[in-house]
Structure 1
Amino acid sequence: MILVTGATGNYGSKAIAHLLKKGVAATNIAALVRNEENYQVLAEQGVIIRIGDYADVDSMVKAFAGVDKLLLVSSNDRGAIENRTKHHINAITAAKQANVKHIIYTSFVRKNGHETSAIAGFQNSHVESEKFLKKSGINYTILQNGIYQEMILAFIGDKVTETSTILFPAQAGKASWVLREELAEAAVAILTTQGHVNKTYALTNNTSVSFEQIATFISEALGKEVKYLSPDVEAFKAILEKAGVPEMYIGMFIMWGTAVAEGMMDLEDNTLESLLGRKPTSVKQFIEKIYS
């Protein structure tokens, strides 16, 4: 049996959809949900529902009973980053107790220098989680996923078509943006084929793209010029504060913008293409679909 955590989230739900598309019987798929709400669609498809919470080891031990392969989707807890590490460790601990044979863990793309980067804390959570998984004795596959293409829309905002301007402190930095749907599809390819035990994969796009290029893609899709401006962090912060953007989001935008500027997500790799059996969706294709 394959169990997917975070089953009602964007990634987990797509993974289950791809498992079913691959022909895996619904009776061989389990979905971990936190409570008995919002799982009706999965239940209607015949997927087995298991109740469990990353903060409750005992609940996960029960939920993981009879599971051979576990797709451990990383925690999206909005509290302290340390919470995520604890959640992952709890899940791995529970999997060990439940005799799960193989864990596929969704980590994040990592480059040299991450220890002193803007996303050092975020990265450290994955580093510690990976270390714990490797020491657990459970067979593992670590998926170091690239940054989602969908995040581009959050970073540039929903007023681009009106203002014709992208304002983001990423300077000339590039990132290897990937479609979340295709990352979930790649995870399913690993879940349903052999040869992936105790391996780490960088799942990024073939080509890294800057916000200058993103502005060009949007310009072409809209048929009018869209400019990219990269103010320094303090100026960017002041602009967002004046616009009434909540402090939590300002901090998040600055963290990711600075990380892109530092080149922390500029890692081109063909592994995702190999797992998909085709070239991943490019940023240009993604932008065209959104804005054309």
Structure 2
Amino acid sequence: MFDHPDKIQACLNEIVPRLQDLSASFTIHYWGIDPAHFDNPVHQHSFFEICYVREGEGMYMDGDDLFPLRKETLFLSRPGIRHQIRSEKGMFLLYIAFEVDEENTDPAIVRHFRQLAAADRIVIYDAYANPTALIWTALLKHLQGPIPLTEHYVKSAALSLLFSFCSAFQAEAPSSGLGTSGYRPAAYALNRAIRFVKDNLSHSMTLAEVAAYLHLSSRHLSRLFRQELGMSYIGFVQQEKIRRAVDLLKHTDLSLIEIAEKSGFSSIHYFTRSFSRKMGMPPGKYREAMHEKKASE
């Protein structure tokens, strides 16, 4: 199956305790490779746990439901749901536990993982050809290979694995009359709007200006933000301004005035007031706290 599973597990937990790119941030609570997983108590988590049965048989309890487990089964433990894994003879089990850092993750991605937390499809049988299973298997096989892998490769593969969970457990969508491509005009328009806002954040684009760029009415674009992201256009822009400021405070030596300008705030006073209300401290104090935290690590 996999040579030296303990070493592979230790390697993953050491290299990938967090995952982050420009659009998403995750905390990985643990990676697991258990060649003989038997029973565990009924319990629940505040985070996601995804498991993959490579060999063996058992049962999975999710709330009041029971699901048989067998070779090549993927199953999802959702946050806040009491669950239990049972096996009389033991299963070869792979698992990962994680949560989304919503403050540093694109709202569209946050929405996908919130949908995952409410997914109806939590067990996938005969998953040997499922993209999630293929990515997971490839990641572990590369880690035991003779050629040393870079940390960047491992993290990239791990990030792909996390993103694959949303599509793997997503229930079949109703037909939209557009064939099987899954193309959704609303999602496409919203993604273009989000990208345009982020690219022009320092210019404080109004809803009307963004709508005109996309050849949409302001009312329609406003409705897209509320329906798809659960927030107003102004709320989204404000969130992105704070997120940009946080990133610049953490990773640059720019002055507070420069950060305010690059984040789209009209004045240093407005920046300080908005940042303090959202983050609980003024930007200068936040930068000091981040530097002290980094120095102590």
Same fold (TM over 0.5): no
TM-score normalised to structure 1 length: 0.30
Greater length-normalized contact order (CA 8 Å, ≥ 6 residues apart): 1
Return the index of the structure with the highest Cα Rg: 2
